[in-house]
């Protein structure tokens, strides 16, 4: 079976070396030396400051909401955050879970990121924040979003789970917003088995978040505010340090697969329009078919050939009942119905070998049938 993605396993020898150190020190969690080392290494690699490692990408979002105070009610009513329906469920469910009402605005049909005019139209007196997603690593219209946020005094938290290492106009995309969050889940480009991080714009927000991930403790017997447990542990950090060492060759291998797909399929299928001045990370290869019927047909054919393609992102979140949305988002609904992410991972074999050719052939056949 060819899965849609595969976790990357780094050098076992190197991981063993880090684990030996953990055994020697007997320091397993609570801001240990490997967590500190990974924090420094990631800040350096990504070109950012104020990075905080946490347990996973969903808690990264939740800690960011709390550190920036957007969960506090407005006039005794739940705060609202404007977000996109075209994302993984965690972006919106984390808001709802924290008592913030997700308000969905529709996406741009080409970039699949939030359309700024739709954000502005969704603002109410109860809106506290905008939570856009750099979907599949594409950059949102950060300048326009910044403008709207300043004008209406809103916080911006980017769910940048897909944007590890992405550069925009020569700088890390993670520098935009009051905070940007990352997921280091096993299936992501860079991972720590489970894990995540928040990049804060301001040092004081980082300091507040540091207490929040450790039960609100400001010292052994001083509880300064309400907190939760969202600490990364030493074993997670060890995995991260190993994966980070192999990033360059991994990115090169992914780029090769991605560019091959683009060359063969780019002319016949709709691909995501990337924002200008983007230095992309080749994390996903989504394609959009002409109709939902065609999409389902391709899924079935690929499945017969032992290939898994994923309807990602489907369904469009404004239609998910437990999120309680009241809006309709026709662009997101349309793209969601027709999109598929094709397999991309380290070790997937290129065209001269069989694997990618097997993925592409049933898709090319669609065109011949027309």
Ligand X SMILES: *Cc1c(COP(=O)(O)O)cnc(C)c1O
| Residue least distant from ligand X (Cβ) | 57
Q: Least Å distance between CB 243 and ligand X?
A: 14
Active site residue 188: yes
Applying the rule CB under 6 A, the residues between 152 and 211 that interact with ligand X are 159, 161-162, 183, 185, 196
Q: How many C-beta atoms surround the C-beta of residue 322 within 10 A?
A: 9
Applying the rule CB under 6 A, the residues between 335 and 354 that interact with ligand X are none
Element (H, E) at 148: helix 142-152
Stretch that binds ligand X, among 53-61, 164-172, 269-277, 320-328 (CB under 6 A): 53-61
Count the helix, strand and coil residues of the chain and give each as a percent rounded to the nearest 5: 40, 15, 40
Stretch that binds ligand X, among 51-59, 241-249, 266-274, 292-300 (CB under 6 A): 51-59
**Tokens representing residue 350 in the block:** 């290129």
**Active-site position among 96, 155, 188, 256:** 188
Among 81, 100, 122, 133, binds ligand X (CB under 6 A): 133
133 or 331: CB nearest ligand X = 133
Strand order in the sheet with 278-279: 171-172, 167-168, 278-279
**Tokens representing residue 2 in the block:** 């060819």
Q: Least Å distance between CB 94 and ligand X?
A: 8
- How buried is 13 (Cβ within 10 angstroms: 0-12 exposed, 13-18 middle, 19+ buried)? exposed
34 or 163: CB nearest ligand X = 163
Q: By the 8 A CB rule, do 236 and 31 touch?
A: no
Site for ligand X contains 57 (CB under 6 A): yes
136 or 200: CB nearest ligand X = 136
Q: Least Å distance between CB 187 and ligand X?
A: 8
Number of amino acids touching ligand X (CB under 6 A) = 14
Q: By the 8 A CB rule, do 195 and 29 touch?
A: no
Site for ligand X contains 140 (CB under 6 A): no
Cα–Cα distances in angstroms (integers) from residue 36 to residues 118, 239, 282, 353, in the given order: 40, 14, 28, 42
55 or 118: CB nearest ligand X = 55
Cα–Cα distances in angstroms (integers) from residue 285 to residues 111, 191, 192, 261, 288, in the given order: 14, 19, 22, 8, 10
Q: Least Å distance between CB 57 and ligand X?
A: 3
Applying the rule CB under 6 A, the residues between 81 and 110 that interact with ligand X are 87-88, 90-91
Among 18, 51, 53, 56, binds ligand X (CB under 6 A): 56
**Tokens representing residue 111 in the block:** 């970039």
- CA atoms in the 13 A half-sphere facing the CB of 49: 6
Chain residues that interact with ligand X, rule: CB under 6 A: 56-58, 87-88, 90-91, 133, 159, 161-162, 183, 185, 196
The catalytic residues are: 188
């Amino acid at each position: 079976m060819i899965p849609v993605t595969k976790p990357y396993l780094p050098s076992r020898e190197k991981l063993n070396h880090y684990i030996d150190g953990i055994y020697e020190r007997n320091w397993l969690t609570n801001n240990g030396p490997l967590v500190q080392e990974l924090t420094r290494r990631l800040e350096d690699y990504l070109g950012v400051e104020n990075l905080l490692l946490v347990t996973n990408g969903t808690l990264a979002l939740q800690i960011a909401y709390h550190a920036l105070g957007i969960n506090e009610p407005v006039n005794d009513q739940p705060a609202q955050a404007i977000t996109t329906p075209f994302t993984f469920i965690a972006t919106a469910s984390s808001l709802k879970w924290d008592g913030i009402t997700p308000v969905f605005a529709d996406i741009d049909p080409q970039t699949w990121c939030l359309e700024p005019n739709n954000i502005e139209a969704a603002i109410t007196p109860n809106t506290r924040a905008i939570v856009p997603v750099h979907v599949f690593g594409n950059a949102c219209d950060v300048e326009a979003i910044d403008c709207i946020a300043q004008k209406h005094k809103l916080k911006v938290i980017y769910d940048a789970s897909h944007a590890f290492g992405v550069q925009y106009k020569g700088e890390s995309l993670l520098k935009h917003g009051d905070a940007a969050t990352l997921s280091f889940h096993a299936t992501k480009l860079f991972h720590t088995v489970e894990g995540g991080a928040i990049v804060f714009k301001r040092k004081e927000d980082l300091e507040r978040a540091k207490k929040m991930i450790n039960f609100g403790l400001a010292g052994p017997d001083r509880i300064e505010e309400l907190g939760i447990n969202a600490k990364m542990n030493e074993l997670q950090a060890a995995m991260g340090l190993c994966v980070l060492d192999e990033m360059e060759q991994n990115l090169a291998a992914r780029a090769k697969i991605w560019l091959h797909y683009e060359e063969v399929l780019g002319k016949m299928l709709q691909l995501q329009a990337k924002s200008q001045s983007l230095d992309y990370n080749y994390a996903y290869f989504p394609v959009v078919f002409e109709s939902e019927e065609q999409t389902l047909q391709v899924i079935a054919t690929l499945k017969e050939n032992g290939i898994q393609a994923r309807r990602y992102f489907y369904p469009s979140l404004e239609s998910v009942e437990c999120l309680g949305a009241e809006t309709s988002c026709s662009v997101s609904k349309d793209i969601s119905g027709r999109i598929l992410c094709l397999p991309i991972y380290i070790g997937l074999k290129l065209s001269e070998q069989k694997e990618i050719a097997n993925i592409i052939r049933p898709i090319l056949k669609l065109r011949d049938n027309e």
